[in-house]
Amino acid sequence: MYGVIISALISVAGWLLPKLLAVGGTIAFSMTVITPIISYFQAQVMQRINGAPVDMLNFLVFCGIPEAISIVFAAITMRWAMKAATLAFAKAGAR
């Protein structure tokens, strides 16, 4: 009886462990590589916008350009993270 339970637990662990490691690796990769790169580029774009004349800056703020830039860079970050997750799960055999 206990042999069957132990064998089932080992089988579940063997199936689940690669998936958990893939998720952990994807999160670590995203937090240490992707996010700082995108944050740097977003800061550079915002710095260039903030260097514009006051009237132009007020118009851009009125049009919502800073929020749009934040949304675009968040979408890029999400796309890269999803691509990394897809690759990690493909290597872990979780199709």
Q: DSSP alpha helices (H): ranges in the chain?
A: 2-29, 35-50, 54-63, 65-92
Q: How many domains does the chain have?
A: 1
User: Which residue segment(s) compose the domain that 32 sits in?
Assistant: 2-92
Q: What angle do CA 65, 66, 72 make, to 5 degrees?
A: 85
CA pair distance 73, 38, nearest whole angstrom: 7
Dig out the tokens for 82 from the structure: 């999803």
List per-residue pLDDT tens for the chain, 95 residues long. 788 888 888 888 888 888 788 778 777 877 788 888 888 999 999 999 988 899 999 999 999 999 999 999 999 988 887 887 787 777 655 54
Is the Cβ–Cβ distance between 93 and 18 less than 8 Å? yes
pTM of the predicted protein model: 0.65
Q: What angle do CA 65, 69, 74 make, to 5 degrees?
A: 150
